[in-house]
Structure 1
Amino acid sequence: MHRLPPPEAEAALADEIAGVRPDLTPPYADALPGARAAVLTRLWRALVHEPLPWITRREPGRDGLTLHLTDGRRLHGPYADPYATAAYVTEVRLDGAPYDRPARLMRDLAVPHGPSFAAELDDSVASLALSRANQPADAPAPATSWEWEQRVVDGHPFHPNCRSRPGFSAAEQLAFGPEHRPVVRLGMAEAEADDCLVVGAWPERFRAGGRVLIPVHPWQAEHVLKCPVRDGVPAHPLMSLRTLAPADGGPHVKTALSARLTSSVRDISVYSIETSATVSAFMEDVAARTGGLLHVTPTLGAVTSGSPDLAAVLRESPDVYVEAGSGERVVPVAALAGTGLPRSPAWTAGFARLSLTVCLRLLDLGVALEAHGQNLLVILSSTGDPLRLVYRDLADIRVSPTRLARHGIAPPRLTGRIVTDDVTALRRKLFGSLVAGSLAAVAGSGGALREALEAAVPHLPRTPDLFALLEDPLPVKALTLMRLSPERPGDIWATLGNPLH
């Protein structure tokens, strides 16, 4: 197994690194085995827990788990804790043959759409190894939320495409990836004001006479728009890659980036621009009903030229909610592991109590947040206690008019995908992102998640949604099945064993 040549993306990226950053060649090679294990662990979790149609049954044994495939083959590996974040799978065996390369395993499984997904896994391993290879031995403590975001090196905690960046060269990954700590100079595309949909207050710094200047990510300008753009503002990339914090401060800029990162192409739909001001104003009103425990970063302005490939959104920085002189700091949930705080079970239980109190309150009112580790941030006291939450990026929340009316809240004037009274859809949105996503990643294992939930539950509001969380299997997006099902648009869901059972 170890004498086989490296997969295509690993080798190709190694050649590019040798040309642009030869000093990273040795650490990149050293990082590859760990990156393969990290991606293989995420893939094995999916194979064990997602409803993949070519797996007929899963058989536990004394030394692990055997998956029986429809063609008669057997795939064997260790037990898979669906909530674990450590990379503990270094090898699985397909009919006795060992595999430590996730891309090779997916190709040899020979399932529908497997080859294209295998290429993404190959890219994920290579990009993750580069991300790990380019980390400083000792970096100063972060002082702002964007600095904390750049500490997130491994990407999505459960998606096998945790670092997949197809279409990005090594030089572009180093120039644009937040974990590489670059300063990105946004371009400015000029558009006639009459040809644009502008929502909210579009600032003068992004105007030129009667023309609107739309911030454009440089990768988008070169690879998608392929048109000249003005030189724009320098900015620090955030976790999502396409959202950046201007170096001179002020609102964050969300740009269109028509590349497939993890699961989705990161453009900005015209629908989200059209509804941005209405959703933002509505959510500020709802957040005020949490007794100061939740801040929502408002959308200050949004613009599109009529295409999801050329659009931008300005939203408030989470840092404005930190009390000056208090020693408070605001940290994205995905970056909490870097603080060391989750190593304390009491701290993790306190964070679970805060986040569930706020999010279950909103769900009862009629709003389901997509509270994954990128959208959800926590304000910490000077001693590290979780005080308040900040939520950003309102494009994928769900709003229930019936629940709002029950509480005497006028529903926003919205139609489309945001609006639903489907109880299953509302609970999936919140539970899949917050519990199976954020809280599981912070806890790091099923056992730690169970302990945190057990400590938090007695203090939570007794709502029907809480009882569903306590009793029902936990919903989670079937991320691998979604990538292997291009003919099925939208989310596909799986269920995990309830950690409280």
Structure 2
Amino acid sequence: MLLTGPAVTADDATSTALLNCLIREVCAPEQQVWPDGGHLVARLPRAGVVLRTGLSRPPVGPTYRLVPPYEERRGDEWIAASWDRLANLVAGELELATGRPNPEFLAQVDNSHTALTAIIAARGEPPDDRYIASEQALIAGHRFHPSPKSRQGSPGDWLRYAPETGARFRPRWLAVPEDLIAEEGAPEAFTALSSYGPPAPPGRKSLPVHPWQYSLLADEPVLRRALAQGLVLDLGPSDVEAIPTSSVRTAYLPDADVFCKFSLDVRITNCVRKNAWYELAGAITLNALLQPIFEKLDATFLAEPAYRSIALPDRRLYEGLGVILRQGVTPLPGTPLLAGALADPYSTFLAGLPALSTPESAQAWWDAYVGQVAPPVLSAYLDYGIVLEPHLQNVLVCVDATGMPVHAAFRDLEGTKLTAGRWDLAHVPPRVAESLTYAPDRGWNRVVYCLLVNHLTEIAAAVADLHPPLEQALWQIARGHFTAHDHHPQVRALLAGVPLPAKANLRTRWSRMADRGAAYVPAPNPLAAPRPL
């Protein structure tokens, strides 16, 4: 049985996330943060407030290890600052800085805190299966997001489907006339999956549906009429279990070894998690383009071979009942583990790997880890114009019996884009093509942010939690995997130490901007070479 990690409270996790965002996006760029012994002090220059938090060790690069207490300066004293006090201070500083209020912000932080409280109370022992346990390990969520566990609805609506609680559920199945089925890709993928559901009558095809989504769509007039007339049949649940993964709406069906990326008309963290019509079509387009390139890269991108939906005269139903299939993990070598679980300070995944038991073996582990993760991402962008999104929830790292990384698998075609101007998409509908592309500079920012700021710096910090003196040395090891690409000017700039682009999640939430248009702030670059004398 896997052990649970260090205790986490909703108050401390919320405070840490708020301060991480405030320091990265406001205080550090404006030179309003400094160390003070075992503390980190941050000034909110417009609000005229000074805050202090514990610091477990000095930061190396763009990540921090903040620890309680969280305090506010009042006169000559430091007094405790609660999570909701911090949220109000952050909101006040952002309103003064931008000149715009955001009446939703404090409610989103409060919602995230409420959700985290419910998750902690409902969480039991993790499952014995290490892969599934890693998918369901992210109790506190994104450490640099102001409301990482924000979820639309009350905990009573979604706890039974929450990966963090170890949930499992049975998908619901609809039987749809063949002439009302909308699908693209490889039809045999759904044929194989359908054998695990209730049998559909002749002339119909089965469509799996997330039960939470089904309840959200139950009052749609077009669906109610189709069910009442027997046009669409509700076959109910099957015996096959679905296990929600870290994204909440994507579930793994171990019996079928397939993932179902369901639609959810629910806002989770940033976005309403539905499969828009152009995302359904775009997944099939990208899947066909990426697979041969990943074979050349000797890397794995989990294929998304097909989608299926229902062609009733209602776009909300077409998108809301659309499901994308993703290949399973059985063919992967070793044991796949979600990268996010390895980085999470509240889990014990890294500490439980024998390969990290000594400082020397931890350096070898890190060398292997970066060697599996970074080169395919860099080559995909630099050589082929493919913008991967290798953040901590989009990468599975396969380890051998000792925990040594032997392979990496990337996933999620929704976040994958093509560099504009390098691909001929004339055969693709304009709205689909638009959703598939990034301008070169935005694509590079996304790659560097996801690979370095969101992913590798967090893994390095987690390794340094086990062996604190190592963090600086880890980045000198990582440089070797980037120098292989230093014939590209973008990589030379990274190795020279130009600031990294850190996605501004706090400012994006404050401005209520779509995630695709998120801004970036400069962050310290741990890859920097020593300055020449």
TM-score (norm 1): 0.80
Stretch of structure 1 that moved more, 154-163 or 205-214 = 205-214
Indicate which of 74, 90, 93 corresponds to 2:72. Answer: 93
Q: Is the 8 A contact 2:49 2:73 kept in 1?
A: yes
CA contact (8 A) 1:279 1:412 kept: no
- 2:208 is matched with 215
Which residue of 523, 526, 531 corresponds with 1:496?
523
SS at match of 1:354: helix
- Are the aligned partners of 1:83 and 1:444 in contact in 2 as well (CA < 8 Å)? no
Q: 1:181 aligns with which of 166, 171, 176?
A: 166
Q: How many angstroms apart in 1 are the aligned matches of 2:30 and 2:480?
A: 39
Q: What SS is found at the alignment partner of 2:167? A: coil
Report the CA distance between 1:486 and its aligned residue. 1.5
Match of 2:493 in 1: 468
Distance 1:43 1:214 in 2: 41
Q: Give structure 2 stretches of 5+ with no counterpart.
A: 1-5, 228-233, 344-348, 529-533
Contact between 2:124 and 2:165, CA under 8 Å: does it hold in 1? no
State the Cα RMSD in Å: 3.2
Q: Which residue of 1 aligns with 2:44?
A: 68
CA contact (8 A) 1:351 1:386 kept: yes
Partners in 2 of 1:259 and 1:101 — Cα distance?
29
Q: Which amino acid aligns with 1:283?
A: L
Match of 1:58 in 2: 32
- Give the length in aligned residue pairs: 453
Q: Call closer, same or farther: CA 1:436–1:59 in 2, change over 3 Å.
A: closer
Moved more, 203-212 or 272-281: 203-212
Q: Does residue 297 in structure 1 map to residue 278 in structure 2?
A: no
- Aligned with residue 340 of structure 2, among 315, 334, 350: 334
Is 1:42 equivalent to 2:17 in the alignment?
Answer: yes
**Does the CA contact (< 8 Å) of 2:42 and 2:51 recur in 1?**
yes
Tell me if structure 2 keeps the 8 A contact 1:254–1:313: yes
Map Cα deviations across residues 389-411 of structure 1 (whole Å, 9 max, x no partner): 1111111112126557xxxxx87
Say which of 348, 368, 373 aligns to 1:355.
Answer: 373
Moved more, 246-255 or 364-373: 246-255
- Alignment partner, residue 278 of structure 2: 271
Q: Runs of 5+ in structure 1 lacking a partner? A: 1-29, 323-327, 405-409
Give, in angstroms, the shift of residue 429 of structure 1: 1.5
> 1:387 is paired with a residue of what secondary structure?
strand
Structure 2 residue 108 is matched with structure 1 residue 120: yes
Displacement of 1:195 in angstroms is 4.3
Q: Find the counterpart in structure 1 of residue 397 from structure 2.
A: 378
Deviations 1:120-147 (A, max 9, x none): 222222322333344446x56425x334
Describe the shift of the 1:449–1:468 C-alpha distance in structure 2 as closer, same or farther (beyond 3 A).
farther
Q: Are 1:105 and 2:86 counterparts?
A: yes
What does 1:304-453 correspond to in 2, within 5 Å?
Answer: 304-305=309-310, 306-307=315-316, 308-322=319-333, 328-337=334-343, 338-340=349-351, 341=353, 344-365=362-383, 366-400=385-419, 414=428, 415-420=433-438, 422-444=439-461, 450-453=472-475
How far apart are 1:298 and its partner, in Å?
Answer: 1.1
Tell me: CA distance 1:94–1:177, structure 2 relative to 1, closer, same or farther (3 Å).
farther
In the alignment, is the contact (CA less than 8 A) between 1:364 and 1:403 conserved in 2? Answer: no
Alignment check: 8 A CA contact 2:124 2:166 kept:
no
Q: Is contact 2:265–2:320 with CA below 8 Å preserved after alignment?
A: yes
Q: 1:224 offset after TM fit, Å?
A: 4.2
Residues 89 and 166 of structure 1, relative CA distance in 2, 3 Å threshold = farther
Structure 1 CA distance for aligned equivalents of residues 449 and 86 of structure 2 = 27
Matched, 1:458 2:465: no
Structure 2: distance between partners of 1:469 and 1:175? 44
> Aligned in 2, Cα 1:128/1:450: closer, same or farther, shift over 3 Å?
farther
Deviation at 1:100? 3.6
State how far apart, in whole Å, the 2-side matches of 1:412 and 1:321 are: 35
Q: Is contact 2:368-2:406 (8 Å) kept?
A: no
Map 1:169-208; keep pairs closer than 5 Å: 169=155, 171-202=156-187, 203-204=190-191, 205=194, 208=201
Matched, 1:239 2:213: no
Alpha-carbon distance in 2 for matches of 1:215, 1:231: 10
Stretch deviating more after TM superposition (96-105 or 377-386): 96-105
CA distance in 2, matches of 1:94, 1:213: 61
Q: CA deviation at 1:276?
A: 1.9
Does residue 1:155 correspond to 2:129, yes or no? no
8 Å Cα contact 1:37/1:87 also seen in 2: no
1-side partners of 2:427 and 2:402: how far apart? 42
Are the counterparts in 2 of residues 99 and 105 from structure 1 also a CA contact under 8 Å? no
Per-residue deviation at 1:98? 4.4
Structure 1 residues 196 and 390, CA gap change in structure 2 (3 angstroms): same
Q: Which residue identity is paired with 2:415?
A: D
CA shift at 1:238, angstroms? 0.9
2:453 maps to a residue whose letter is A
8 Å CA contact retained: 1:298, 1:315: yes
Deviation of 1:485 after TM superposition, in Å, equals: 0.7
Confirm or deny: 8 A CA contact 1:277 1:299 kept in the other structure. Answer: yes
Residue 296 of structure 1 deviates from its aligned partner by: 1.3
Alpha-carbon distance, 1:51 to partner? 4.8
Aligned equivalents of 1:310, 1:140: Cα separation in 2: 30
1:251 aligns with 2:258: yes
Who is 2:129 aligned against?
142
Alpha carbons of 1:403 and 1:468: their partners in 2 closer, same or farther (altered >3 Å)? farther
Give 1:83 deviation, angstroms. Answer: 4.4
The 2-side partners of 1:95 and 1:417 are apart by 49
1:247 Cα shift?
4.6
* TM-score of the pair, normalised by structure 2: 0.76
Identity of aligned residues (%): 23
Alpha-carbon distance between aligned partners in 1 of 2:214 and 2:399, rounded to the nearest angstrom: 38
Q: Is the 8 A contact 1:200 1:300 kept in 2?
A: yes
